[in-house]
Amino acid sequence: AQSVTQLGSHVSVSEGALVLLRCNYSSSVPPYLFWYVQYPNQGLQLLLKYTTGATLVKGINGFEAEFKKSETSFHLTKPSAHMSDAAEYFCAVSEGSSNTGKLIFGQGTTLQVKP
Q: Which parts of this chain interact with other proteins (CB under 8 A)? A: 9, 32, 34, 36, 41-46, 49, 51, 90, 94, 99-103, 105-108
Closest approach of Cβ 102 to other proteins, in Å?
A: 6
Q: Name the burial class of residue 14, with classes exposed (0-12), middle (13-18) and buried (19+) by CB atoms within 10 angstroms of its CB.
A: exposed
Q: Which is nearer to other proteins, 11 or 44 (by Cβ)? A: 44
* Chain centroid, CA 97 distance in Å: 21
Closest approach of Cβ 100 to other proteins, in Å?
A: 5
Closest approach of Cβ 63 to other proteins, in Å?
A: 15
Q: Which is nearer to other proteins, 50 or 78 (by Cβ)? A: 50
Q: How many Å is the maximal CA-CA distance in the chain?
A: 45
Q: Yes or no: say if 67 and 48 are a contact pair by the CB < 8 Å rule.
A: no
Closest approach of Cβ 68 to other proteins, in Å?
A: 19
Q: Which is nearer to other proteins, 3 or 84 (by Cβ)? A: 3
The sign of the torsion formed by the CA atoms of 10, 76, 16, 44 equals negative
Structural element, H or E, at residue 72 = none
Q: Which is nearer to other proteins, 34 or 67 (by Cβ)? A: 34
